Structure formats: structure tokens, C-alpha cells
A and B are shown apart, each in its own frame.
Chain A
Amino acid sequence: MSEEIDITKLETPELLELIQDDLYDGLADEVVASVNELLARDMTPSDVLNKGLVAGMEIVGFDFRDGILFVPEVLMAAKAMKAGMEILRPLLIETGATQIGTLVIGTVKGDIHDIGKNLVSMMMEGAGFNVINLGINTDVDAFLEAIEEHKPDILGMSAMLTTTMTYMAVVIEALEEKGIRDQLLVLVGGAPLNDAFAEEIRADAYCRDAAVGVETAKKLLAIRRGQPG
């Protein structure tokens, strides 16, 4: 499709539009090419991120909400976003620009259901987050280790079973004991959960689906960053 378009000949505003369209259509290679082209034109990584990728994924989000785009299309767009982010992330760190955020996520111990959690991971990547997906059957030690290593802004936990969801409380208690609970947002999700459960185990929020998860993560992170100190 767009390989017929010579991106070096496009004006920068057109190229930004093209990135948004390519994200919308889930064209990872094309997104990567345009990101590189924009960087070659000396656009700052932060501008490429915000004016190109983030703006594009916003449209994807709106059209998903309105039923125009389906889940597989959003996942394709998220993959294209991730591909673009992989180029930008080291540059953003280098320039000291604000990161969108880092998420450590896993299905808790005893539970091997991870389709929902994987959807959340992909959608979070689609929103520009750096996602460390710990997989299934994740115990306290594995969560703590990953937090230590990646210094995430957000910890995400998932459970499909009423018998395993209680393990989320065990993880949160461990964070409290180590005195690092306040450094993190803790978001939880899964079929048997609800708001009351999240409150009870002292999580920051329950997210009923991947889209809500992304919204909640962005919103709570903005609030947190807006607060002094």
C-alpha cells in the first residue's frame, strides 16, 4: 500500500498524518520508516511521539470506542505503535524527556489464564507504555524482583479465578512491608473482580477490560505526576 509513497518527498505535516494512518492500519514497518524519517529531519523524539504516534493511537482509541475498529485491528495498531516506540524509547531516555510509563504485569500465582492480561499488555504497549509481561503463575518474589529491576510506574495483576484473586492481596501486603507500595500504582483486573475487591485489597483501581485499563493507567499516572513531590 504505502510503499508506493516516497516518504522522503512528503512535507512533515503530511508525514505525521501518514504515521497516524499507518498506525490505524497496523502497518508496523511503515510506522518505523516514518519515525526514522522524522528523526532524520531533526524532529525531537518527544515531538515524534506526541504529534505522530500518540495522536495516531488516540484516533484508534476513539474508533475502537465507537465500534468502527475491532479488537484485532487495535492489536495490530498496538504492534505498530510498539515498533515505533522501540526506536523512540532509548532516544527519549537520552534526551531526558518524560516517559509515558513502565508497567510490570503478570497473572498471579496459581492461575494460568493470561489471554486478558496479554490483551492488556498489548493495549498498554499501544498507548506507548514500556511493558514487562511476567506471564502466568507469578509469585510475590517474581513481582518484587521485576519491580526492583524495572522500576515501573504501574504494577498490573490479573486473575481469572476466585481462588487465585486473593493472592493479589498477598502481593500488595509484600509491597507495603517493603515500603514501596506508594511508589507504584497497582491496577488489578480479571473476570471475578470488582471495584469493592480492589478497594478491599488496597489496589488503586479495578479495570474491567483492557481499554479501561489503558484509560485508568493514563489518568492515574497524570494525576500522580501532577502532584508535587
Chain B
Amino acid sequence: MQNYASLLSQAQVERIHEASLEILESVGLLVRNEKARQIFAHHGLHVDHETEIVKFPRGIIEEFRAQFPPSFTFRGREWSFDRTIPGDSPLVLTGSSAPNIIDPVTGYERRATSDDLARISHLINQLPGYDVFSIATLADDAPPGQFSLSRFYPSIRNTVKPVRANTPPEEAEDMLRLVYMIAGSESAFRDHPFVTFHYCPVVSPLTMDFDSTELLLFFKEQGLPSYFSIVPNAGLTSPLTLVGTLAQNNAEFLAAAVLSQMIHPGSELIYSTLPTVADLRTGAYSPGAIETGILHMGCAQMARFYNIPSGGYIGLTNSKINDAQAGYETGMSVVAGYLGGVDILNMGGLLDALMAFDFAKAVIDNDIAMMLKRIRRGFEFHEEELSLDLIAEIGPGGMFADSDHTLERMRTTMYLTEIADREPREQWQESGASDAQAKAMRRVKDILTRDNPTEFSPEVDAKIRSEFVGMISGVSMPPEGWKRSTSTSSKGRETRQERRRRLRENAATN
């Protein structure tokens, strides 16, 4: 049983719920998508066809709220990577859809391409902190008509973890054909849908758009895994108070959630958001601000009130480079959100308010992700873990370092950071005096100059290529200037164990 940090009392949570019902009942939502208006009308909501305003009687909301299912599952190409929240929380995802990338060789920002996405997916596949690859960038080289396929194909090809994708309406059918082909058949995909679709159907304040709403309807009708995020920006698209923004955010969430239940009763939901406060010194969009963390804590409380998982974009940064600001903005918000009970965190790899992906940032975020997961493990309280016998045995003035007890736990009690440096100063200087960014880039290079073990078979690729003419390659190649590394197997323990095994076999046969 987890205990979460709560900033709101139970009475305040209920008041926010009430307030959002009030907003939906008296103000309503502007619903631009006609099909959505028809569905709302069909279920007895007040639809003004002139103004396109839909008002939600509270009884109807409460009726559908009772159907909200308590969990959500992300599935991967490999089943062992399937993750269900809240049981497997916290799940760490990449941030998504950045138009740009910090070039791993030159260090300069440029447009991201499908080749970049292949590398990013490859990297995320190999970093244990990440649970889901939410397609991190756009693909500037996408051929006409393959905008989303050019993002999706390099992504799915290079990871066996769950992929979160989206697509414009005109490519939705192609997207399904592609995933069926990868799965082997439509039914194979439906048995284990390894893609989760995601949309932002609500444009704050209180407006449902055309396309994203259309796609939400499409994937819910298809019965395929999908969810949506609510994205208010306090001071610009919602009130400049945190509670006012929370209430409006909650109203917008309920409206879209009710719509999804109308199409597909009992379909899975995540109370997913990216709530921000605009920095009104300039109007800057500031998803790295601590208020995003605070708002997420509030959303998590609302989600617990509705008994559904929560989370979304948290731990982003406004920093342009992978510096201290990038680290403290990500770190502060995700700890706040995690302690507040957030189940999913789209936190990895992005700089500059979702504008650019940075490989080294993704590696550092992996360390942060692993630290969050270490918090989740907590104290692992067991009577025997109190180690009273050991304390007595070692006694005053003794040493724990050379006991079997310590040996058995030396790799598991502590999360052994990949990037955070713990060497004495001299040793650190001797090994190049690298900062976290430099160390993270070495890790990136180490991963991306090796073959990706999760590639598709050539047959599947050939089939896809004949079906989708002009499809980008999707192969993860090291960036120009980086040589493929030949595997350097450390001779340490493995050779020794192998030798021991051989000796024992010989002993057995003699």
C-alpha cells in the first residue's frame, strides 16, 4: 500500500469535482467535431447546434464516471515489456513530438529526421529506466502522405517496449495496415496491441477540436489502446490560480473521458495532463516550472478520487542545453509528482519546452527514472531485513563490508547510478574530469555504435517496403563519424564461471 503526499484535503478534492461539474453544466464545452456533438446529443446532453456548445448534466457525468476502469495497460512487441498501471507505477516515458534534435556529433540544434528517431528508439530500448517509447521527435524527411508513418516505423522497428504514437486522420488507416503487417495479421495485433495511441482532443479553455477528437473517436471505436492528455496553460488558457486551473482541467478531462466511455464503455483511461503556468514576464511556456509538478499532484489526487491512473508530461525543462537547469527542473517536478502519486511520467530526453530532443538528456533522465523507481521500492520492510542478528554478530566497532549479508545485497540495496559521479576528486580528474553531459554522451555512443538486438526480420521489412512505397529506412545507424564498435566482452566473471563449469563437467565424466 502506497501513501501519497497530498496537497488537497478530501473536502477540497470533492469541491474541485463539484466545481468541474458546475463548469460542465453551466458553461459547457465548445465541441467543434460534429460526430462528437452527435454522440453527446444521442446520450441526452444539451447540444446547441448553432453555437456548438455542449452542456453536461451532472447526472450523466456521474453515470459514466461509474464505468471508469481502474487500470491501463501498455503493451510492447515483447510481452515481457507490457506494463499495467497503477500496479507497475511509476512508468517512465519519453517526452514526445519535438520538432528538433541536438545533433549528437556537432552539438547544434537542427530538424529531427527519421534516422534520428531510429537511433532514439534504439537508445530508449536499451535504457532500463524507460517503460514506454513515446515517439520523441518529428521526422523532417517524411515523404508526402507518410508524416506519421515516417515517425512510427523507425520507432517500432528499434524497440520491443510499448510505443506510444499518433497520426493525422488521413493516415490512420495506413497506420493500422502497417501495425497489422508488423504483427503478422490484424487479429495478432488485436490480441496484443503493441502500440498505444495518444491525442489532445481538448484545446483549453473548454474546446474540443476537429482532428484530435476525430482520432480519439476512431481509436476508441476500433477498441484499440488510446488515451488523451489535457493541456491547460494558467494565465493564458485557464485561470491564473492553481485551483482554478485544476478545476477547469478536471472539467475538460471529464468531458473527454465521458465521450470515450460513450463510444467504448469501460475503455481504459489515464488522467493524463500537461498543466502549466505561463511565465507572464514574457508569456513564456514553462513546463519545467515547479507549478507543473504541483498541478500534477492535484491531478493525481483527482484521479485517485475517480480511481483511475494518472500522470502525463512532467519533468520537462525550458533549458536549451543539458545543464544544471535541465537537471533541477526535471528532478524537482518528477519527485513532487511521484510522491503525489503520478503513475506515468513523460519526462525523458527533451529540452527547451518540448522543442528539442537531446540524447544525453535522455540518458541522464534514465538515471532519474531509476532513482524514482528506487523510491517506489522504498524500505522493503521485512522483519529479517532489520538485520538484528547481523548487528549483534558484527557488534560495536565491527565492519559490515566483508560479510556475506553485504555481499548478497551490494548490487540491489542501492541503485547504482550510471551517470552520477561518485569518485574521489583525484580519480575523477585522472579519468578525464567529465561532467554528467560528457559521461551521458559516452553512454549514448556506446549504445548507438552497437547493433540493435531488437530489429525486425528482413522478410517483414521487405513486405512493408513493398506495401508502403517510399518508406524511410528505419534502421538505427551510428551518426556519421561514429564507428561501429566491435563487442568487447569483459573476461571477468563469465570466463571464470565457464571454466568452473567445464571443470565440474570433466569431474562428472571422469
Q: Which A residues are within 8 Å of any B CB, using their own CB?
A: 1-2, 4-6, 9-10, 14, 17-18, 21, 24-26, 63, 66, 68-73, 75-76, 79, 114-115, 118-119, 122, 208-209
Determine the chain A residues whose CB is within 8 A of the CB of B280 once the complex forms. Answer: none
Chain B 494-510, CB-CB to A under 8 Å as 1, else 0, gives: 00100110011001101
Determine the chain B residues whose CB is within 8 A of the CB of A114 once the complex forms. Answer: 397
Determine the chain A residues whose CB is within 8 A of the CB of B401 once the complex forms. Answer: 71-72, 75, 115, 119
Determine the chain A residues whose CB is within 8 A of the CB of B324 once the complex forms. Answer: none
Q: Is B402 an interface residue (CB 8 A)?
A: yes
Contact partner, A18, options B399, B407, B426, B503, Cβ 8 Å: B503
Q: Are A66 and B507 in contact, CB atoms less than 8 angstroms apart?
A: no
Determine the chain B residues whose CB is within 8 A of the CB of A17 once the complex forms. Answer: 499
Interface residues of B in 451-510 (CB under 8 A from A): 490, 492-493, 496, 499-500, 503-504, 507-508, 510
Report the minimal beta-carbon distance from B421 to chain A, rounded to whole angstroms. Answer: 13
Q: Are A66 and B500 in contact, CB atoms less than 8 angstroms apart?
A: no
Chain B 40-60, CB-CB to A under 8 Å as 1, else 0, gives: 000000000000000000000
Q: Are B424 and A208 in contact, CB atoms less than 8 angstroms apart?
A: yes
Report the contact-size class of chain B (Cβ under 8 Å from the partner): 20 to 34
Report whether over half of chain B's contact residues are helix, strand or loop; otherwise say mixed: helix
Q: Are A4 and B504 in contact, CB atoms less than 8 angstroms apart?
A: yes
Q: How far is the CA of A1 from the CA of B436 in the complex (A)?
A: 41
Q: Is B176 an interface residue (CB 8 A)?
A: no
Q: Are A24 and B503 in contact, CB atoms less than 8 angstroms apart?
A: no
Q: How far is the CA of A17 from the CA of B503 in the complex (A)?
A: 11
Q: Is B406 an interface residue (CB 8 A)?
A: yes
Closest to A10 in B: B503
Report the minimal beta-carbon distance from A76 to chain B, rounded to whole angstroms. Answer: 6
Q: Are A4 and B499 in contact, CB atoms less than 8 angstroms apart?
A: no
Contact partner, A5, options B403, B424, B493, B504, Cβ 8 Å: B504
Report whether over half of chain A's contact residues are helix, strand or loop; otherwise say mixed: helix
Determine the chain B residues whose CB is within 8 A of the CB of A9 once the complex forms. Answer: 507, 510
Closest to B508 in A: A4
Closest to B495 in A: A21
Contact partner, A75, options B402, B411, B500, B507, Cβ 8 Å: B402
CB pairs A–B below 8 angstroms (14 shown): A2-B504, A4-B507, A4-B508, A10-B503, A17-B499, A66-B490, A68-B493, A72-B403, A72-B406, A114-B397, A115-B401, A122-B402, A208-B424, A208-B426
Q: Is B410 an interface residue (CB 8 A)?
A: yes
Report the minimal beta-carbon distance from A105 to chain B, rounded to whole angstroms. Answer: 15
Q: How far is the CA of A166 from the CA of B427 in the complex (A)?
A: 25
Evaluate whether A72 and B407 lie within 8 angstroms (CB atoms) in the complex, with A24-B496, A115-B399, A122-B402 already known: yes
Q: List 6 other contacts, CB 8 Å, given A10-B503, A73-B410, A208-B424.
A: A5-B504, A6-B507, A24-B496, A68-B490, A72-B401, A208-B427
Determine the chain B residues whose CB is within 8 A of the CB of A2 once the complex forms. Answer: 500, 503-504
Q: Are B402 and A21 in contact, CB atoms less than 8 angstroms apart?
A: no
Chain B 395-418, CB-CB to A under 8 Å as 1, else 0, gives: 001010111001100110000000
Determine the chain B residues whose CB is within 8 A of the CB of A69 once the complex forms. Answer: 492
Closest to A9 in B: B510
Evaluate whether A70 and B492 lie within 8 angstroms (CB atoms) in the complex, with A2-B500, A114-B397, A119-B401 already known: no
Report the minimal beta-carbon distance from B399 to chain A, rounded to whole angstroms. Answer: 5
Q: Are A72 and B402 in contact, CB atoms less than 8 angstroms apart?
A: yes
Q: Are B410 and A72 in contact, CB atoms less than 8 angstroms apart?
A: yes
Q: How far is the CA of A115 from the CA of B493 in the complex (A)?
A: 28
Determine the chain B residues whose CB is within 8 A of the CB of A4 once the complex forms. Answer: 504, 507-508
Determine the chain B residues whose CB is within 8 A of the CB of A119 once the complex forms. Answer: 399, 401
Report the minimal beta-carbon distance from B435 to chain A, rounded to whole angstroms. Answer: 19
Contact partner, B411, options A18, A24, A70, A208, Cβ 8 Å: A70
Contact partner, B507, options A5, A63, A70, Cβ 8 Å: A5
Report the minimal beta-carbon distance from B356 to chain A, rounded to whole angstroms. Answer: 32
Determine the chain A residues whose CB is within 8 A of the CB of B492 once the complex forms. Answer: 63, 66, 68-69
Q: How far is the CA of A9 from the CA of B402 in the complex (A)?
A: 32
Evaluate whether A14 and B503 lie within 8 angstroms (CB atoms) in the complex, with A9-B510, A24-B496, A209-B424 already known: yes
Determine the chain B residues whose CB is within 8 A of the CB of A208 once the complex forms. Answer: 424, 426-427
Determine the chain B residues whose CB is within 8 A of the CB of A79 once the complex forms. Answer: 402
Q: How far is the CA of A111 from the CA of B324 in the complex (A)?
A: 39
Q: How far is the CA of A116 from the CA of B227 in the complex (A)?
A: 55
Q: How far is the CA of A17 from the CA of B407 in the complex (A)?
A: 24
